[in-house]
Amino acid sequence: MAVAAAEKTKNPSSKHNIEAMREAFYERIAKKDMAPLWKVMRSMVTKEPVSRCQPHVWHFDDVKSLVMESGGLITAEEAERRVLILENPALHGESRVTNSLFAGIQMIMPGEVAPAHRHAASAIRFVLDGEGAYTAVEGEKAFMAPGDFVITANWAPHDHGNPSNKPMLWLDVLDVPAVNFFEASFAEHFDDAMQKTTRQDGDSLNFYGSGVLPDGTPAMNRTPIINYTYARTRPIIARMAQAGDIDKRHGARVRYANPVTGGPVLPTMSANLALLPKGFKGEPYRSTDGTIFVCAEGKGTTTVDGKVLEWGPQDVFVVPPWKRYSHQAEKESVLFSISDRPAQQALGIWREGK
Ligand code: GTQ
């Protein structure tokens, strides 16, 4: 029987016959929950990254007015987190901005509290608007101002509050889609909406960001710093730019680091802050980590795979994995960016190129 089938394959007149035999075979093995690899090999093991996501920009004017409107519809308490998800236009309904990352705009109104909880996913915040609201993480209150970069590590209890008299808005990025890919999500709520603070407000940056460490600090795979303030980081990139330390693709750029290990702030996500001098025309770059950018200051464009994204203050934009992009700055600009690069590096699959 096997010999006969092999002979028929060689004979073009029986091509129809072998196709029919194959189809019948596929149907039979499907009933046993099996499938032929050779039918999907090329689309499964692709030569280069294939991304479903699209480059896209969310302009802050639109975002702010819609988020403010949501403030009239639901309280932070009721919503648990009052967040409008930034959905990649190609991934509507999937609650994600790239395949691996969630992004959303959270608002907290004067006097509101977003109650304490914790979850397996890690989160970061990048503050867009307002001043004087806080995130309490693991017993430390981090009061926030625009440009601050705040870390909520995996399983760290956190709540948000706003004792100021202005609404506060920030960008949330979480690795939820990656955690859910592994089907490893856990979450817990606490009886008290606000956790007890056991440390000085903003203590961790003073403590761990000063060049000394508490003797015997254990190396952890995530940073002990809760808030990397804009007030501390912004002058550093200004000095880099002044000294001419300007990357041809990224501008004068720093990487937010875990001061204990020098590694990324979280095992799953890492972030950068870059100053692009006025008139900067970046060289093209691409990498396998789809990246979310925020314009903290300035005005410019980023060309992604031929598509021009225009950005100004507080706009958020996304560049899909392995799409070639270059930045152009009309004014002196500051770009914050975040991606899943450390997760890919841990797996040995991260690549960059021109
Ligand atoms: O602030 O804890 O945007 O749990 C999504 C899920 C924010 C948060 C989000 C969350 C949070």
Question: What number does the ligand 1 atom closest to the CA of 83 have?
Answer: 3
Mean pLDDT, range 40-66, rounded to an integer: 97
Ligand 1: does its nearest atom lie under 6 Å from the Cβ of 123?
Answer: yes
- Between residues 226 and 3, which one has the greater pLDDT? 226
Ligand 1: does its nearest atom lie under 6 Å from the Cβ of 175?
Answer: no
**String of DSSP letters for 243-267:** TT--BTTTBEEEE-B-TTTSSBSSS
Distance CA(135)–CA(116), nearest Å, equals 10
Bridge-based pairing of strands 158-161 and 227-228 is unpaired
Give how far Cα 98 sits from Cα of 218, 264, 268, 289, 334, Å.
33, 20, 14, 9, 22
Ligand 1: does its nearest atom lie under 6 Å from the Cβ of 83?
Answer: yes
Centroid of chain to Cα 85: 13
Sheet strands side by side (includes 140-143): 140-143, 134-137, 158-161, 113-119, 187-189
pLDDT for 87 equals 98
For residue 13, name the pLDDT band (cuts at 50, 70, 90).
Answer: low
Q: How far apart are the first and last CA of the chain?
A: 53
Ligand 1: does its nearest atom lie under 6 Å from the Cβ of 86?
Answer: no
Question: What number does the ligand 1 atom closest to the CA of 160 have?
Answer: 1
pLDDT for 201 equals 85
Residues forming a β-bridge with 257: 264
Ligand 1 center to residue 87 CA distance, Å?
15
Q: Tell me: pLDDT of 12 over 60.
A: no
Percentage of the chain exceeding pLDDT 90: 87
- Between residues 203 and 257, which one has the greater pLDDT? 257
Ligand 1 center to residue 275 CA distance, Å?
28
Q: Tell me: pLDDT of 2 over 60.
A: no
pLDDT, tens digit, for every residue of 262-282? 999 999 999 999 999 999 999
Ligand 1: does its nearest atom lie under 6 Å from the Cβ of 81?
Answer: yes
Give how far Cα 308 sits from Cα of 86, 180, 252, Å.
19, 32, 22
Sequence-distant (≥ 6) Cβ neighbours of residue 231 within 8 angstroms: 145
Residue with the smallest CA separation from ligand 1 atom 8 is 81
The SS3 assignment for 111 reads: coil
Percentage of the chain exceeding pLDDT 70: 96
Mean pLDDT, range 139-160, rounded to an integer: 96
Q: Tell me: pLDDT of 1 over 50.
A: no
* Mutation choice for ligand 1 from 87, 106, 158, CB with most ligand atoms inside 8 A: 106
Distance CA(184)–CA(155), nearest Å, equals 12
pLDDT for 215 equals 87
Ligand 1 center to residue 172 CA distance, Å?
7
Ligand 1: does its nearest atom lie under 6 Å from the Cβ of 172?
Answer: yes
Mean pLDDT, range 97-124, rounded to an integer: 97
- All structural domains of the chain: 2-44 (no CATH), 56-353 (2.60.120.10)
The whole-chain average pLDDT of the chain stands at 94
